[in-house]
Structures are given as structure tokens and as C-alpha cells.
Amino acid sequence: MRNGVRGLAALMAATVIASFAFPVQAKPLMGHYADDCSYGGEIKSIEAVDASTVKFTFCYADPAFPAKAAFSAFGIHSADQLNATGGGGDELLSNPIGTGPYMLEKWDRGNELVLKANPNYWGDAPLEPQVIFKWNSEAAARWNELQAGTVDGIDNPAPGDFTVIEGNSDFKLYPREATNVFYLGLNNTKPPFDNVKVRQAIAYGIDKQRIVDNFYPPASTVANQFMPASIFGYTPDAKVIPYDVEMAKKLLAESGVELPIKTTISYRDVVRGYLPQPGVVAQDLQAQLKEIGIELEINVVESGAFLDGASKGEYPMFMLGWGADYPDATNFLDYHFGEGANDSFGAKDPKLTELLKQAAQLSDADARLKLYKQANDEIADFVPMVPIANGGSADAFKATIKGAYAGSPAGEQFRVMEDPADDNIIWMQNAEPISLYCADETDGETLRACEQVNESLLGYKLGSGEVVPGLASEWSANADLTEWTFKLRDAKFSDGSTLDAEDVVTSWVAQWDAASPLHKGRTGTFDYFSALFGGFLNAPPKS
């Protein structure tokens, strides 16, 4: 979803720095356990050792666990609220009880989301007592609002406005590194994309440079693999599919599929850093692929419905993208192509899933990179999608806003920003949040809102991918990285109740155990958990 810059070595260094000794207690206060590891996921148990200590035990090493535990999809919720709402329903989705610097004041659906300072926040009080989220899908409209003074900051200015903003002393541009990927997804269970030569032809038939040159801002690059170069797991010597129209036509002829191929290309009309101009890019892909014998009908879908449909594998061809939630290959590759990944691309590639499983369990960075080289080559051959661009992006703020910055990898923390002119920060992004229960969401605009209200065991240093303490003030791992223990800080939820280990165990188990009565959320898919931790405990068999 987001942006990040640090790799495995930095994550491990952060773990070492935060190590400490825990007292041994024979029997945990509460816990949740897998009978064994045959269910397919990596978590074996989650235990409350005492009221302020939680231990995770894994079936195998997970060197990226600190970075995962810092991610906002694994925010800690009030166990009381989870139990009272049954893990779903509007009260949880629209007004979660969190430990973050802000809490809900009101949500005027379709208009604005208003947050107010949490009086029980354990950290430094927010500099502004109120944050107002607004949204508009048009970059020009967001820029107009900023110039008119009706908002204090905007996400994703249009590519052509970067230099205009930089040349205006009333505003300041905060660029982000292009730690994302825009891709054209292909579902291999939808004919004719069940034919690998058709998928390969599409990869050869797209002029990526043309798209980047015409529709992307400065600092954007052509994507030749699924990860940007700044993410650990990127391998510069991996196989690259060049633009070659004649090769594309040759492969289509060899496929035996009747031409022209007629299908749909689906997308959501929402601006993202990885896709700043979705409509014109869709039209350009339509024109490019027509040259090789593929005729596309453009299908625009509402944002939430589109993400749900893509997750379920409903679209034969679709435009989507990804930004780093944390700076490791598991966030990009395992989430999309691993054993626990959703059905966006259809049937999984067994060779690829095995390579990813092996790489995720190794603590040696060089050994992991050798496997990721093979994995990136396999993706180029199997073509579950075509990587197209790494999009440069930015935030723009009034020059008078103190502490402004562009979030990376997590979203902007508005608690550190100050407007000398009034008592709020008014922020305009590309789309309305879908819900405020981000355990069951993957949308970046939604995650940014959640991050103001809920916090995870660990966090990221502002503006970087460095893992730092969150609700856990200290953490450590055993030598083989299969046991991770977290010591909770003194913190309260926005309703005044005290954070304890039961809240942590309940929040995580609600996602982990598909048989839990709390495993509901908005859609019940919990895509991040299944993809990053290998699958659910007690998952029903797939039909």
C-alpha cells in the first residue's frame, strides 16, 4: 500500500537494539494455539504471558515479523468492543475504540470524517485538537481547494502541477520516493488468460516507457519487476520482458486463440501514487493492446466494490497497484503470489509459492536474495500480471503548516502537524475511507485514517521504514526467530480502559482463527493476515 526504504538488515538491527530479558512464567494467562503446524500457516500460538507481556510462537522463522507487527492492519483494538460487536457491525467499522492520538468525532458519509484528540493518549498530545479528512478524486480539484485555503494539505497533486507548486512560495511540495508498483493484473482462470502465451504476449505488447513519459510525474520509473528497487528482494539481474510488438503477435499466433480477443479491463477511478491518471492510462492500454489483436472494453467500478471484486478474482484483466507497507519482499511477493494470497490472479504457481515460502524463512539476506532472483524470474515467465510503473508522488501543504511531511511507509501522522492560523488540520485525499476497522481493509486512503485512531505493537519512524516501539515498549526474539515477545507500555484506550495483553491476543486471534466468532470484519476476507502469515487457522476448505 505505502512506501518504505529499509531492508532486512535494518529490521534485524532494530530487533537487536530492542532486545531485553523477560521473566519466565510457567502458564500464560490466556492464549490461542494451533494443534500443530499442518493447517498451513506460520503462527503456532499467541499467548498472554502476563497482563503486559505477549508471546508469539511461529512454526518457522519469520525475520520480517517486526515490520509486519508495525503495520496498521494489525492495530490493537479494545477486546471489550470486539466482543460486544461480535467483530463486525457499524459500531466497530465506523467508530473503533483505539489507543491512537485521535478518536472519532463524527463521520458525515460522502462529505467528511472528523477526528478529535484522544484525551487518554499515552504519548505527546496532538498539536492540533482536530483533524478533518475530505476527499476528491480529481487532482485539479484538490489543488484548487488548497489554493483557495479551504484545506491545509492534499495528497497526490497532478503530475503537471509539481513544478507549479514548487514555484509558489505559499505552498510546499513533499515528494515521496517511488516505492510502489502499478500493474495490469491477469486472472489465469478466465479464458483466454488461462493460456500462458496470451499472458506473455500482453507483457511484450505494452510500451511502459510511453505510459511513464506521458502520464507520470518526475521521479517515476518503468517497472521491470513487481518490486521497486528500494525494497529488499528486488534483484537487478532478474529476467526483463522488453517491449516487442512483433514478439507479442508471434506469441498470440502460437497460442491458438481466436483473434481478436475481446475482453474487459476493470479499474477504480481513484488516484494513487502508483497510478496518478487512471482513466487516461486505461485508454492508452486499450489503444496499445488493440495493435496486437486484443480489444478492451473499459469497466469503471466503485472503489470498495472494485477491491472486493479483485480480491475474489472476479476480473479477467484489471488495473491496480501496490505501495510498500513495510520494506521487505514478503509485503510485495507473499501478499500477492504466496500460498495465503487472495484470488486476484487466479490459480497460484506452485513453483513460485514454494520459492517464496523458503525465502521468507531465512534470516541470511544473501540466501534470501538468491531465492528472490528465482522468484522474480518465475513471475516474468508465469505472468500473473504485467508490472508497468513505479510512480513518483507527493503531498502538498500550505507553507505555513509546521511539521508537514509525506507519509512513508505509514500514512501521515497528523498529530505532529500544526497550523498557526487555527485549531485543526484539514486534509484532502483521493477517496473516502471505506471503514475504520483496518484489519479487514487494504485501501491506502482507509489505512491512513485508521492510523490516527489505532496503533500496532510496533510502529515506523516518521517518514521512514525503521521499526520503532509502538504499544510495545520493548521486544525480543529467540535465536532462531520463532518466538517473539513483546512488553506492553502503560496505555489507555480512548474510552479510558487500560490496554493489556488480552486486547492484543483478542485483536490478533480475531484475524488468525477463521472459526472465531470475531472473524467477521467488513468482508471477512482479512487479506493481509492470510497473505502475510500463510493462511488462517481453522479455515474452511475451498470449494
Question: What are the structural domain ranges in the chain?
Answer: 8-83+454-532, 102-174+393-434, 180-390
Q: Which residues of 73-86 are buried (b: 16+ CB within 10 A; e: fewer)?
A: bbbbbbbebbeebe
Strand-strand pairing, 153-155 and 171-176: unpaired
DSSP result, 258-290: -SSEEEEEEE----BTTBS-HHHHHHHHHHHHH
Specify the pTM.
0.82
Nearest Cα to 113, choosing from 452, 478, 530?
Answer: 452
Closest CA to 72 of 436, 508, 443, 455: 455
Q: The C-alpha cell of 24 is what? A: 519466565
Nearest of 190, 502, 514 to residue 345 by alpha carbon: 190
Burial, 305: exposed, middle or buried (Cβ in 10 Å; 0-12, 13-18, 19+)?
A: exposed
Query: In the block, which residue shows the cell 485514517?
Result: 449
| Spatial distance between the Cα atoms of 84 and 435, rounded to a whole number of angstroms | 18
CA 540 remoteness from chain centre: 25
Rounded to whole angstroms, the Cα distance separating 327 from 308 reads 25
By C-alpha distance, which of 283, 284, 288, 289 is closest to 259? 289
CA–centroid distance for 37 within its chain: 27
pLDDT of residue 93: 98
Q: Are strands 221-222 and 261-267 parallel, antiparallel or unpaired?
A: unpaired
What are the b/e assignments for 507-537, b being 16+ CB within 10 Å? Answer: bbbbbbbbebebbbbbbebbbbbbbbbbbbb
Note the pLDDT of residue 219.
85
- pLDDT value for 28: 54
Residue 79's SS3 state is helix
- pLDDT at position 543 is 58
Segment holding 66, helix H or strand E: helix 65-69
Query: Residue 43's closest CA among 69, 17, 24, 22?
Result: 69
CA angle 5, 466, 395 (to 5 degrees): 60
What is the helix (H) or strand (E) element at residue 94, kind and residue range? Answer: helix 90-94
Q: What radius of gyration do the chain's Cα atoms show?
A: 23
Residue 269: how many CA atoms within 13 Å on its side-chain side?
A: 12
**Do residues 338 and 357 make contact, with C-beta atoms less than 8 angstroms apart?**
yes
Residue with cell 513471475: 379
Q: Which fold has domain 102-174+393-434?
A: D-Maltodextrin-Binding Protein; domain 2 (3.40.190)
Nearest to 2 by CA among 378, 193, 400, 273: 273
Does the domain at 180-390 match CATH 3.10.105.10? Answer given as yes
Count CB neighbours of 109 within 10 A.
8
pLDDT for the residue numbered 13:
34
Rounded-to-integer distance, Cα 72 and Cα 517, Å: 22
Nearest to 357 by CA among 531, 105, 172, 138: 531
Averages of pLDDT over runs of 10 residues in the chain (543 residues) are: 34 35 49 95 97 97 93 97 98 98 98 98 98 95 98 94 96 92 98 98 98 93 95 96 98 97 96 92 98 98 94 97 89 94 96 96 92 98 98 95 90 96 97 97 94 97 88 96 97 98 98 98 95 93 70
* pLDDT at site 269: 93
